[in-house]
Structure 1
Amino acid sequence: YMLLCLLFTFNLLFFIAGIIILGLSTHIQSNRADYQITDELLPAITLLIFVGAVTLVFGFLGCCGAIKESRCLLALFFTDLLCMFLMLLAVGGLGVVARSPAAREQVKVNIEKMIPLSAQPKDVQESFQEVERTLKCCGFFDGHLDWGNSSTVVPNSCNCTDTSRNCTFLDGLSDVLIGTAFSFSIFMILGMGFSSILICQISIDKSDFITPT
């Protein structure tokens, strides 16, 4: 009974985690410019959305399997946990790749093509301005000059103490991806362990009711 309660609680937390992952990753993908999502990181975000949706569904199935003591549902839950475990490892791997020097250089090249920033569409300018306001910086290479040579094109977001302070490339998102992927991988290993033990226990309990012929 204690193991059933533990597995049910675990799956309930798993269900809630699925909602959080799905909501967070969807928000990040919907605001790519604000979070400086590169082409290298986009597959990881998409995969994370899928993992969140699947986690939500199979967290619910795991709860049902624990309540009904169904070996079939628990076996399905175990199989899905294994698949998601492998996918999360892939997400973590993509996060590591996004931190590589080659990926950083690609981001730098892409931003250099957008100089002067004042020539970009309004929504792109607003995204860059949001980064500047958040990090209290100006431009990415030559300070406020990245917006253009005229002072009239420099936005209010560059009104900081040091207008020569360049905005650094954000590593925080890839850190979140790596941390999330490997943290949930640990929970999935625990879930696979709990479900395996419970499946074995259910099999033993049912075999006790089988009378020899």
Structure 2
Amino acid sequence: MAALLSVTGLKKAFGAVTIANDISFDVEEGEVIGIIGPNGAGKTTLFGLLAGTIKLDAGRIQFRKQDVTGLPTFDRARLGIARTYQIPRPFTHMTVADNLKVAALFGGGLEEAECPEWIDQILEFTGLAKERGMLAGRLSLLGRKRHELARALATRPSLLLIDEVAAGLTDAEVDEFISLIRSIKTAGITVVWIEHVMKAMLAATDRLMAVAGGKIIASGAPREVIQSKEVRRVYLGA
């Protein structure tokens, strides 16, 4: 069976700094894959390459057997690729629900008449039902993180790229997001998740990839990757 996402030979450099150096991997449908690595390893740039916000120097990206390498971001969104950002970027002057409506209409291609019921479902799913009429700019940190996920989910993705959603949260809040990621998987959405919070990576991922120096240095079962000598040397400083 073909992978949901197949990445082959990705290369990207900014001047003399190489961010991706011949990166290749597959993502199977239904997986939750975690990506770890030191700051500056190119994790977020990798998401930009996958989502289409950053142009590749070389390589190929296939999604559901279709070559999407040259497609713009909005076309990839319509095909089912969504992403979040480490720093949430809502329309702060709009309500929580209206932010989701924009995502559903323009990212997911829903019709106007489909939006109310769909938005209600996403707000309930992400724990934001009570905040639906609040201006997005007034949400707490936890609320903004939930909202960032909700906006991505509103586009009806089959592949969700999550960028450090647990950063800055308390242990109890991280537990809430671990539960939410598990629910997203149960809903049939494949997840690739960048994170520094190892508790989350060990609890919610099926497979872990460690990146450093523009390369994947380890990939496999989460605890095996964490215990890898190379990962401990590069990522943990051991």
- TM-score where L is the length of structure 1: 0.27
Q: Which has the larger radius of gyration?
A: 1
Which of the pair is proportionally richer in helix?
Answer: 1
Which of the pair is proportionally richer in strand?
Answer: 2
- TM-score where L is the length of structure 2: 0.25
